[in-house]
Amino acid sequence: MAELTDKAARHLGIRIISPDRPGISGSAFQPERKLLDWPPILRAVADTLEIDRFYMLAISGGAPYAYAAGWQMPERVRAIAIVSGAPPIVDLADQQGLLPLYRWMLALYQKRPELLRVLFYIARPFVSMRLPIRWGRVLLRLLQPCDAEALRDSTAFEACFESQRRAWRGSVAGVMTDAQIYAQPWGFPLEDVDVPIRLWHGREDRSFSLRLAEEVARRLPNCTARYIDKAGHYSLPIRHMREILGDLISL
């Protein structure tokens, strides 16, 4: 995913560090991990690299991890940019703003977790392989026009989907543990995350609706929200990365 940032980061003179979460790709599996297990790992990475303070960029499912780091490590995190970010799902009174696939997975997790586990293993051979070009074109037709257009760029397409393939190749258990975190309480209230946050969200985002992003922004005490017209879940980070990073490092 960090490849999405490369051109903009080089232009701005920014160093991007993108660690895999436990159990993802080649990172060691950590059973029963929780969201709040992440900040100590991030602290250790920063200490090893001799980085005192840093900015965070969180795209989609990275959002909860960035919020957790900002809450637990405010002395290290300068500011956070949240892009197309996942909300605290267990706090939602109404899940209609979630992608239907997410609602379906949440229902199975709550009512038939053993069936969901089996489905993860069945899915692995398919989601871990590189799609033929013709199937990639079929996938794009399932997306809304703004996202499909952005993902027609082969570099952007590979940045988004190769990370997914590597995750599934590494460990089904790692992917499942990672997925469970989104369906569990985060362990802290958003209202206590006081580091500066820029929240970027496309008005056409179908994974997490604009309404959900607005609810998150209202709960954060030090947040400036940027809602982008004609942008979706994928097209926002692909098309606006230089603007996002430039704004982040200005804080």
Q: Look at the chain and report how many structural domains it folds into.
A: 1
- Domain holding 178, by residue range, is 2-249
> Which domain CATH number covers 193?
3.40.50.1820
Amino acid (1-letter code) at residue 72: Q
Query: pLDDT truncated to tens, each residue of the chain (251 aa)?
Result: 888 999 999 999 999 999 999 998 889 999 889 999 999 999 999 999 999 999 999 999 999 999 999 999 999 999 999 999 999 999 998 899 999 999 999 999 999 999 999 999 999 988 888 766 566 667 788 888 999 999 988 888 888 888 888 888 888 999 999 999 999 999 999 999 999 999 999 999 999 999 999 999 999 999 999 999 999 999 999 999 999 999 999 99
Structure tokens at 183: 């369906």
Residues of 137-156 as b/e, b for ≥16 C-beta within 10 angstroms?
eeebeebeebbbbbbeeeeb
Maximum C-alpha span of the chain: 49
